[in-house]
Chains A and B, each alone.
Chain A
């Protein structure tokens, strides 16, 4: 399908190529598409210049996240088959042309074009870009897959940190009317196209038979960690295993619990300490949100790297078990101590980020490297559901508690208790994960033929 420069065969690393060039390639894509989380910077300008409601101005972001999940789930096999350079190119074209379309939409005051461009077209770029470097990083770092995917997925968290002040400065320079927004979108599209091109040019897949220097061979890893397989499972078969669905529940519960606190962080810390001698001001609450962003980003790298040492299952025991205890700490003691509240929230959010970053390595352990990117794409549907569930639970419960006459920490007690329950469900699901039954393993010949071949083979034979 992909020919010439973009073809997988053209991206095989020459002898001597360093694997340490792959993380910056991945980061150039993830730091760009992570801009999605800074969409809120454009909301006030769009609302005033195009006379939109808050709900309407959120539409491009919401559609973008829906398209992220859908394109990652349905495009994963194509990404595996055509290779990372093809995937990064598709991501670049979609993400950046999404900005250009949005720019045109803002310029001619056609908001539907902003929604279609940024949300639909750009959203495809988000999904394909998110999974594009995952399997390549895992293949280059079989000895440290958690660290490798942690770097890339940390970039997705870092993207908003860069875009947020940068976009705000741009709106300040160009103005907040529709032509100013159009100019800002245009510059975003062009700059991100240049920035992401590094990934397209730099990414390489390891040559057949390549081994990491001084790293353990997969057989040695399997001997020390029972969940680490040397076999391979196709994406089509992976979704038929209980392991996939247990991990789906684990990710969904961990993300739901994290989003719950992330969504309401600023009002929550204000409400918790409103009736104390040291209430939290609006600027301090903004500082708290910034601290959470740091924890989210740092957790992606630190905890995912830690999982290479202690194992994926143990790491998720921490995310879900210790995370539940942190929530309990906030429920029982949160309003008595500001440092305790902040510390618990930081740990919870670092686990939220860590959960995202560790899951590709967990998938690699269970299903092998054969189509791990495609399997990861399918698993990200858990994120889509969690993105709806988390804010829904916290906001609905807080509203109902307010209607019942409660205030301060009382607004959140029930919602936080629900989060503890969700984390316990995730903890149990993680405990149920066992090695994948060998009947799902691909024959060696199919995996040698390359990703996607297993699916084609089954379709051809009707299995």
Chain B
């Protein structure tokens, strides 16, 4: 996930592409809820080894 791997249209690119902040925002937007869900899941999964 790098900003360097931008699209390469047939015509030469003139724009710099989306700012890095947009990447961070977009991935955090989906990443934070996913991390919350995974954390809650791992708490439950641990019961397999501690729950007898």
Show the binding face of A for B, using Cβ within 8 Å: 13-21, 24-25, 27-28, 31, 140, 155, 158, 161-166, 195, 198, 202, 206-213, 279-291, 293-294, 342
Task: Tell me if A288 and B15 are in contact (CB < 8 A).
Answer: no
Supposing A25-B26, A207-B10 touch, asked if A287 and B48 sit within 8 A by C-beta, the answer is yes
Chain A contact residues: helix, strand, loop or mixed: helix
Closest-by-CB residue of A relative to B27 is: A24
Interfacial chain B residues near A18, Cβ < 8 Å: 3, 5-7, 17-18, 23
Which of B3, B18, B30, B41 meets A293, CB within 8 Å?
B41
Residue ranges of B at the interface with A (Cβ–Cβ < 8 Å)? 1-3, 5-18, 22-23, 26-27, 29-30, 33-34, 36-38, 40-42, 44-52
B23 touching A20, Cβ below 8 Å: yes
Out of B11, B17, B30, which one reaches A28, CB within 8 Å? B30
| A283 touching B52, Cβ below 8 Å | yes
Cβ of A12 to closest chain B Cβ, rounded Å: 9
Q: Find the A residue at minimum CB distance from B5.
A: A213
A28 to B: closest C-beta gap in Å = 6
Q: List chain B residues, Cβ under 8 A from A210.
A: 7-10
| In-complex Cβ contact of B7 among A13, A202, A289 (8 A) | A13
Chain B nearest CB from A350 CB (Å) reads 14
Jot down 7 A-B pairs with beta carbons below 8 A, ordered by A: A17-B7, A24-B27, A24-B30, A27-B30, A28-B29, A166-B36, A294-B41
Residue among A16, A27, A285, A286 making CB contact with B15, cutoff 8 Å? A16
B15, B27, B47 interface centre (most CB from chain A within 10 Å): B47
Do residues A287 and B5 form an inter-chain contact, with CB atoms below 8 A? Answer: no
Residues of the B chain whose Cβ atoms lie less than 8 Å from the Cβ of A284: 47-52
Tell whether A161 pairs with B40 under 8 Å between CB atoms, given A13-B7, A291-B48: yes
Contacts A158-B37, A286-B47 given; does A20 touch B16 at CB 8 Å: no
